[in-house]
Amino acid sequence: MPAAMRQTTIIPRVRRLAAAAAALGSCLALAAPASTADAAPTDPVPTVFFGDSYTANYGIAPVNNPDQPKGWCFQATENYPAVAVRRLADKNITLNVQADVSCGGALIENFWRAQQLPFGAGTVPAQREAFKEDTRLAVGSLGGNTLGFTSILKQCSAKLRGGEGAVLPGQAVDEDSPAGECAAFFTTGDGKAWLDYKAEQVEYELTDMLDGMSSLSWDADRVLVGYPRLVPQDTAKCSTPAPGQSELPFADIPQDALPVLDQAQKRLDDVMKKAAADTGADFVDLYDHTAGNTACDGVNRGIGGLLEDSKVEFGPQALPWYAHPNEKGRDIQAQRTAAKIEEVLNR
């Protein structure tokens, strides 16, 4: 369904349903006794997890479906949705997971249309196909790939433009511009204009997606999960390798480009927060709560270094983390997401 048509058909229907619900709620408030606050749902909650590599938790092994094309999604068996489900079960909140369709490399547009897997491995269905009429909860992260964060990293790293970035999707924004000049590239001229355009695209597409979920599963609560912080405020911490590592956390990305990367991520976080607020969805703000667990925080890092070996192997070699959450980061994602889900279901 074209985006414009989804907007014009979905929004009036949602507003009518909201008005009817408000009127019914007023009547029930007069007729029914007050319910107990913070009462967890007694029945399993039909749930769909959606998203990209940060929901799939690329880099953590083992992965689901290793012998199938879907294995190229690099969805960890123990990704944060799986860990969050167990945390909630410990509190007697049961999620009936109808599907976890998170897949590395997913764009927001892959909510609506099939995603092409790398190396000609085939496709996975549009993530919307996992939604059912009785889905009550939708949780996940999308937006980083649509913003083009891997292209930003490749713009700033000569190593990622070469063989070490072969599995990382995307190309540099402008390969004719030297990686060492990427700070100036993204703060002036065409580079700045590109970032502005991508941020607007993310906001529009996220708003469209979150609104569209209400037409697929009209009773579903929607929880959009932000991205953990990659670069610390004190970028001097990034000039030292993590314990046991020889590469710097951000490899050959110039020191003056690190604040630019952080600003791009903060902008993405703000856009996601606004899209959630504008559509009545809930938002899990990880950026503001992971300032001490960035890629440059040594033993406390929740983000694997750009070229640090992850737990996933590709042939005889381990794939790099490419600045994705490690197990510590995954557990932070799970903890904060589970807390938000509990809050939503107890409303």
Distance CA 103, CA 50 (A): 8
Contacts of 109 (CB under 8 A, 6+ apart): 146, 205
170: annotated active-site residue: no
Contact by Cβ (8 Å): 325, 311: no
Please report, in tens digits, the pLDDT of each residue of the chain (347 residues total).
434 334 333 333 333 334 333 333 333 333 333 434 456 667 999 999 999 999 999 999 999 999 999 999 999 999 999 999 999 999 999 999 999 999 999 999 999 999 999 888 999 999 999 999 999 999 999 999 999 999 999 999 999 998 777 678 889 999 999 999 999 999 999 999 999 999 999 999 999 999 999 999 999 999 999 999 999 999 999 999 999 999 999 999 999 999 999 999 999 999 999 999 999 999 999 999 999 999 999 999 999 999 999 999 988 889 999 999 999 999 999 999 999 999 999 99
Tell me the pTM.
Answer: 0.88
| φ, ψ dihedrals at 319, nearest 5° | -75, 145
Cα-based distances in Å from 187 to 38, 50, 191, 342: 47, 32, 7, 40
The three-class DSSP label of residue 96 is strand
Residue of 59, 104, 105, 226 marked active site: 105
Catalytic residue check, 57: no
For the question of residue 65 being annotated catalytic, the response is: no
On the 0-12 / 13-18 / 19+ scale of CB atoms within 10 A, 177 is: middle
Q: Rounded to whole angstroms, how far apart are CA atoms 177 and 8?
A: 42
Is-catalytic flag, 305?
Answer: no
Q: Which residues of 59-90 are buried (b: 16+ CB within 10 A; e: fewer)?
A: bbbebbeeeeebebbbbbebbbbbbbbebbee
